Amino acid sequence: MTSSSAPAPGPAGRPSLPSRPSPASRLVRPLTSRGRGEVHRVASPLELFFDLCFVVAVAQAGVELVQAVAEGRAGHGILNYAMAFFAIWWAWMNFAWFASAYDNDDVLYRVVTLVQIAGVLVLAAGITRAFASHDFLVVWLGYVIMRLAMVFQWLRAARWAEGGERRMALRYAGGVLLCQVGWLGLVLLPEPARPWVFLVMAVLELCVPLYAEKDAKSSWHPHHIAERYGLFTIIVLGETIASATVAVKSGVEEHDALGELLPIAAGGLLIVFSAWWIYFVVPIHGHLRSNRQSFLWGYGHYLVFASAAAIGAGLEVAVDQTVGRTRLSALEASAAVTLPTALYLVTVWALHSRHFKVGIAQQLVLPGTALLVICCTFLGAWAVLAAGLVSALAVATGVTLTARRAVRGGGETGPHDS
């Protein structure tokens, strides 16, 4: 993390902590809120390590989704994937927003964060059993480790806070604890009731921040939060490329099907490259001005992350279908790629792009692209390549429309405006 020359003011007139404290005071320091106006705020090495470890769980969920879809149990697999990914995303998101407001980088903070990382690895180890038999015991144990660490962080923040901020921290701690008790239903109740337990508990979890911050707001940093979400998007897209590459490599080596797999490989790359471009085409941190906007934006990323990871799983399914490792039809395998791609495009448009587009033509580019990508499902072996070309065309169209607007306005445009 980079420190500024002087601390920016924090809530209630308190100065926020400098980004990098002096070594002499690093063992245990007051966990007080940082200021939203703090300059040069970037993701720390610990946060980057945290994200990379979470991708282990994301990858495991993707593997199980591929297996379920390839075996013809798409409905069962999607339901389990949605449940597992919510657990992963929600734990990541809680840490990301807390760290944006309270990261003091002392030894105790680092140790507790490493405990949370251990929890997500335990969760990842239980995902296979959760998919196979709805046995959530190991997943729940991993969640206990992560969430108790989060409760400790909030109680630590409450110790140094006053007034409304202290009430907010205690509400967070209490809400997380109560929800963790509620998640026991996934372990103790009969299997048919567990999807309903998940639905109820997911809603309650989403309500905890809304309730906790009804009087006082946490001092998250807009640029830091935007960067954290962007970095996790990059990591998930990277995992998508990695899983698809391994699948293509395996198909070529075991079945000598390079010619059949090249369209999938090329189309998959175009989809992922376009997904990256479309996400980072605008500087979204300027739009995060209020907690109301941030809640919708932060919660909406569940679909962004889940669909981005599902694209990788879909590409693996398409490879398996091409080389004959699954009995799925070409239409079903194509849908495993095109549907999550369309969901990603629509969600990114709703959360990001629509706020920066000028005119009907620009507003319709991404929704129209999503519709065309779905239509590509019916093109058989060429569906993935066609979806990739359509996605790349959307990027080119956006660049062209923005360039024309800049020429007509007599101004210049940069890469974030395209």
Structure confidence at residue 281 (pLDDT): 81
Q: How confident is the model at residue 36 (pLDDT cuts 50, 70, 90)?
A: confident
CB atoms within 10 A of CB 410: 6
Nearest to 127 by CA among 65, 202, 190: 65
Alpha carbon dihedral 213, 214, 216, 217, in 10-degree steps, equals 50
Kindly state the tokens that stand for 246: 């391994």
pLDDT of residue 375 exceeding 70: yes
Q: Where are the alpha helices (DSSP H) in 189-329?
A: 194-212, 222-255, 258-279, 291-322
What are 290's two structure tokens? 């209020």
Q: Where residue 20 falls among pLDDT bands split at 50, 70, 90?
A: very low
Q: Find out whether 240 and 318 touch, Cβ atoms under 8 Å.
A: no
Residue 384 contacts residue 337 (beta carbons within 8 Å):
yes
What residues contact 271, with CB distance under 8 A and at least 6 apart? 311, 337, 341, 384, 387, 388, 391
Report helix, strand and coil shares of the chain as percent, to nearest 5: 80, 0, 20
Residue 413 reports pLDDT greater than 60: no
417 or 237, which is more confident? Answer: 237
Count of alpha carbons within 13 Å of 141, Cβ hemisphere only?
Answer: 11
User: Whose CA is closest to 270, among 247, 250, 244, 246?
Assistant: 244
What integer pLDDT is reported at residue 355 of this predicted model?
64
The least confident of 150-154, 207-211, 260-264, 395-399 is 395-399
Q: What residue ranges do the domains of the chain occupy?
A: 43-212, 222-417
**DSSP 8-class letter at 189:** S
Tell me the C-alpha to C-alpha distance, in Å, between residue 366 and each of 194, 297, 311, 390: 36, 18, 17, 10
Does position 204 have pLDDT exceeding 90, yes or no?
yes
Nearest to 200 by CA among 172, 181, 174: 181
pTM of the model: 0.86
Instruction: Please check the confidence at residue 14 and state whether its pLDDT lies above 70.
Output: no
CA angle 131, 132, 137 (to 5 degrees): 70
